[in-house]
Chain A
Amino acid sequence: MLHNPTMATYFLPFEKPLVELERKLQELKEFGTGNRVQDEIKRLERRALRLREEIFRGLTRWQIVQLARHPSRPFTLDYVPHVFDEFVELHGDRRFADDASIVGGLARLGGRPLVVIGHQKGRGTKDNIHRNFGSPRPEGYRKAKRLMRLAERFERPVVTFVDTQGAYPGVGAEERGQAEAIAANLQAMMELRVPIVTAIIGEGGSGGALAIAVADRVMMLEFSIYSVITPEGCASILWRDSGRAEQAADALRLTAPDLFGLGVVDEIVREAPGGAQRDSVLTAGHLREALIRHVDELGALEPEERVNRRIAKYRRLGVFHEEQR
């Protein structure tokens, strides 16, 4: 599916002034003639640029949560054709089913064959039901693990895209061992001998995200989020009021700069001006550049060294007190 700026038909409240200005500009460009109009267009363009910078420089955490969940925000399969040169999607966990909320397959990144895996949300009711709103069941995680093993067998790096509210909390998911499926993926990724690079592209929702995000390098798109719990979930537990999600978003510190500061992510990848939903192709280009860089750097290491560094990297995460004796 092609994704381009004209698809963004839904706008967040804080985008409104900018969108109105851009509409006016568009009208002038289409119907206006003469020098005075040209001057006016230039003036409005400068104003739009300034306004965009102003709005996006001062975004609150809650506004970033909304951007990360923007209905027009590109999903894994929107990026794949623009990040990779080739892609063959593969299906199924060979145990139970093919979970469409996780997609994966073989791809080529500027001459580098590799395996790509990502959460996949849907657009519209029917597609969303098919994708289970991007919330995987155990078979999704087991499909991902199967593809990682395939990558290892053929010495191909693994690239993962993270975009889920969380693993699905349902009866069937529990019966088929959701906890075991996630735990097994963490173990597989920690021990995998090939390079792993993860990009958080939208929502990184707790264990359901981490199950495909244990990596040598973790990047985050500028307006994505990554958290132990959704702000709504946090608010309903702490204040018994999911309406206080905005406050919870601040408390949880879930934005890319927050996570970079905590050492959880290694790099923040720039999005198109105004957010990835305004230009998925441009954003894909930024992702591609970063992925190539990391895959090449990691490829230079011996497998054992890579695994040891990966373990050591996660070992450093966390803050606690210990009395010196």
Chain B
Amino acid sequence: MAWFTKVAPGLKVRAETRVKVPEGGLWQRCPDCSEIIYNEEIEKNCQVCPRCLHHFRIGARQRIEMTCDPSSFVEHDADLTAADPLDFRDSKRYRDRIRGVRRSVGENEAIVCGMGRLGGRPISIGAFEFGFLGGSMGSAVGEKVARLFDRATEHRCPAIIFCASGGARMQEGVLSLMQMAKTTGALAQFRRVRQPYLPVLTDPTTGGVAASFAMQGDVCLAEPKALVGFAGPRVIEQTIRQTLPPDFQRSEFLVEHGMVDLIVARPQIPETLGKLIDLLAG
């Protein structure tokens, strides 16, 4: 029963469909509606297809930039990175794999965290970088999430996390699993100060992240059509030996089954977060 869900290869499929039509990379084909669109146009629309509203995956920094008031974000714990406590090795040593990913992705870990402002109010915010080993949670990610809640407790301000993760990071073994408990503990302390914690589930959020702080929010938001679930679809298909319908485990499916409060299109997310914070703790 795979806990670390196999969504990482799924990203590859998506990335491949995002074919740059020749001539200089000014265009791309939307994987959903197949329209050819100007990159500039997608950029202006928060990386959302203006024709069919397909949400392209975006990186952590872009996400934070879209959410926080201009130049209000101050990063914390930027130099916190993975160790290799198990001396883990598959085809590569884990420590070498981390070194390679840090270089190719340009981030030190799978989440970027810090303090920012939203509509003038302070927020403790974090966003997952799915490109960094499938946004997987090892000890460093767990510690960064815990500290995100600590800062929210200290400043008595809302906490916001944009989730995008395949789950626990296998290469740190049971220590990765324990990050689910560790983050839950930091959140438990934060819950005492009566400020909202608002997770935003983005494509994809599964495994150990879904089964911990992603699903422990006071109000739970999701982007349209994001894959959200405990087990990855491939694992389920192998178990039940059937093909799953395309809408299975998508945000709309979760709302229908009562697991998510509301689906919000990317351009409206900051405004919606602000409104919720106002209504809960304004």
Do B187 and A206 touch across chains, with their CB atoms under 8 A apart? no
> Which of chain B's residues has its CB closest to A324's CB?
B79
- How far in angstroms is the closest Cβ of chain B from A189? 8
The verdict on B100 contacting chain A, using a C-beta distance below 8 Å, is no
- Of A37-45, A171-179, A277-285, A289-297, the one contacting chain B is A171-179
Query: Which stretch in B36-44, B45-53, B114-122, B140-148 binds the other chain?
Result: B140-148
**Residues 186-235 (chain B) with a chain A CB within 8 angstroms:** 186-189, 191, 206-208, 210-216, 228-231, 235
Chain B residues within 8 Å of A160, by CB: none
- For the A-B complex, the count of residue pairs with Cβ-Cβ distances under 8 Å equals 222
A211 nearest in chain B by CB position: B211
Q: Find out whether the CB atom of B215 lies under 8 angstroms from the CB atom of A179.
A: yes
Rounded to whole Å, the gap between the CB of A101 and the closest CB of chain B is 13
The answer to whether A169 and B91 have CB atoms under 8 Å apart is no
Q: Does B175 lie within 8 Å of A264, measured CB to CB?
A: yes
Nearest-Cβ distance from residue B66 to partner chain A, whole angstroms: 26
Q: Which of A174, A191, A251 meets B188, CB within 8 Å? A: A191
Q: Is B89 an interface residue (CB 8 A)?
A: yes
B58 within 8 A of A: no
Q: In the complex, identify which listed stretch (B2-10, B20-28, B124-132, B274-282) lies at the interface while the others stay far away.
A: B2-10
Select which of B90, B168, B179, B240 is within 8 A of A238 by beta carbon. Answer: B90
Contact A190 B188 (CB under 8 A): yes
User: Please, how many residues of chain A have a CB less than 8 angstroms from a CB on the other chain?
Assistant: 62
Residue picked from B77, B189, B258, most chain A C-beta under 10 Å: B189
A178 and B231 contact, CB distance less than 8 A: yes
Chain B residues lying within 8 Å of A186, measured Cβ to Cβ, are: 180-181, 184, 211-212, 216
A–B pairs, 8, beta carbons within 8 Å: A169-B2, A211-B211, A227-B174, A238-B90, A317-B175, A318-B139, A321-B81, A323-B79
**Chain A: residues with CB nearer than 8 A to chain B?**
135, 165-171, 173-180, 182-184, 186-187, 190-191, 205-208, 210-211, 214, 226-230, 233-234, 236-239, 251-254, 259, 262, 264, 307, 310-312, 314-315, 317-323, 325
7 nearest A-B residue pairs (beta carbon): A318-B139, A169-B231, A206-B3, A166-B1, A183-B215, A319-B85, A178-B230
